Amino acid sequence: MPRVEIYDTTLRDGTQGEGISLSAKDKVKIALRLDELGFHYIEGGWPGSNPKDLRFFELIREHQLKNARICAFGSTRKSGVAADQDENLLQIVRSKVPVATIFGKTWDFHVLHALQTTLEDNINMIEDSVDYLKKQGMEVFYDAEHFFDGFVANREYALATLQAAQRGGAARIILCDTNGGHLPNEIFEMVSAVTQVIDVPLGVHCHNDGELAVANSIAAVQAGVIQVQGTINGYGERCGNANLCSIIPNLAFKCQVPSLPEESLAELTELSRFVSELANMHPMNNQPYVGGSAFAHKAGVHVNALLKNPQTYEHIEPEKVGNRRRVLVSELSGLSNLVYKYQEFDLGLGLDKEDNRKLLDELKELENQGYQFEGAEGSFELRVRKAFYGYQETFALESLKVLIEVRDGTVYSEAIIKINVNGEVVHTAAEGNGPVNALDNALRKALEGFYPEISGFQLNDYKVRVLDEKDGTGAVVRVLVESGDGHCSWGTVGVSPNIIEASCEALVDSIAYGLLRLENKDELDTNKIITGFIRGKC
């Protein structure tokens, strides 16, 4: 089967997702990354709708793209306005991009009630708009909005709108499941019907309201489309768009249909996280292929089988999409989980079965108390090393006092600590915008004189979970901390009825593990290192 074109609309449709906003410079960074990986088309935005998109088209012209063609988005001309006088179409031309993607109405219901014009007028609007943009020297893609709903409601008219785009000279006609309400078998049947009538190559654009956007896109490819439109991580309005991070590997590994260059598939996980960082969105752990949990294994039975052959519980090798296998330790773990973790930490297999069972029982009891080591494997490794490998922390917190004072309506927090560093006692204090921040500042202040490297440690994330809500303010809490050094991130945990004590435990473990990393840098920087416990970063 010929290569399927990948059309990315993260920069336009993706930014319509709730909570997502990208600056013009962010959009340029993403576009350049997509181009490097071999994406065929990148939709930059709607130049007629806002100054930010206009700025993007100005900035992207400063770069020579190697693979992708930049597309500007817009609508067909307005009713009663000539195409060469329509401001929306003129803005597309002024954007100076090689490709114009315009949408028009396919569903007669929308023509009559949204556009409030005649069915014939809408046909003319489509043909005129495509024809005008093509005469400006642009490659024109026509997005048939609500095509599948329109096809069900009035098959003859829906096909007539596509024929209008074909007469106008469209290079691609994109069939859109705009409301995201159709099933894969329906998509397949309707696309198959269109291929019998329309000679122009087809594409598909699916939304995820029924959580079927990926499946519908694959079904459309199987029915004959040569272009798939979607977004990175499935970002988009309402429930999102078709997720290209799933579509691309599904095409490659499940359908044996090429799209991106083979070497780019191993960059998908990094691309997913790159875009989520710029969008200021937390990566979705349970996202197929590229999520932090996509190849994470927790049950002892699963891990036992994995040690024998990873294919027992993995549908592809995680490295093919740039991801990695993770084995979690929890109350569901078996001895196989520990054996795998020893190998991952490069600790060897020195423990006998009785020691392994003892450690596993201790971990399960800690989980029963509220500890969670799935997102805090830094704390887990420290416990293993302390118990069986002679590890001793390079510092010990001897005392802690936290003061909170309200002065003139403002709350002030101060932490006073006494810490022992290799036999030398340091007594110091620091303020912060809250008690935990003050404690963090005090620990750093006390330790930086001994270990200046910790100035490079940063707190990436801080989460508090109340474990027994019914106990109210006296409930036990679990604190998960994610820290990093600019290269890797690691997670640590603390549990206590006192939120300050729980936070202190997690922060102390965080610094101790960071120092352990520095002591064992060569060992820990191999492919066996514990990376990205919470966010999968390293």
* Per-residue confidence (pLDDT) for residue 534, from 0 to 100: 27
Query: How much helix, strand and coil, in percent to the nearest 5, is found in the chain?
Result: 45, 20, 35
Element (H, E) at 461: strand 458-466
**CA-to-CA dists, residue 453 to 449, 457, 458, angstroms:** 10, 8, 11
* Per-residue confidence (pLDDT) for residue 474, from 0 to 100: 76
Residue type, 71: C
The DSSP symbol for 470 reads: G
| Angstrom distance (rounded) from CA 373 to CA 534 | 10
* Per-residue confidence (pLDDT) for residue 385, from 0 to 100: 77
Helices and strands (H, E) in the chain, number of each type:
18, 16
Which sequence spans correspond to the domains of the chain? 5-260, 296-371
Residue type, 341: K
Which tokens is 420 given? 């022992």
Q: Which residue in 158, 175, 171, 89 sits closest to 128, CA to CA?
A: 89
Residues of the chain with pLDDT under 50: 331-332, 522-538
* Per-residue confidence (pLDDT) for residue 531, from 0 to 100: 30
Q: Which residue in 399, 405, 378, 381 sits closest to 391, CA to CA?
A: 381
Instruction: Specify the CATH number of the domain 5-260.
Output: 3.20.20.70
| Angstrom distance (rounded) from CA 384 to CA 389 | 7
Residue type, 390: G
Q: Can you list the positions of beta strands (E) in 193-338?
A: 202-206, 227-230, 296-297, 326-327
Backbone angles phi, psi at 421, to 5 degrees: -115, 100
Name residues whose C-beta falls within 8 Å of residue 394's C-beta, 6 or more positions apart in sequence.
421, 422, 450, 451, 512, 515
* Per-residue confidence (pLDDT) for residue 350, from 0 to 100: 52
The second-level CATH assignment, the architecture, of 296-371 is Irregular (4.10)
* Per-residue confidence (pLDDT) for residue 353, from 0 to 100: 63
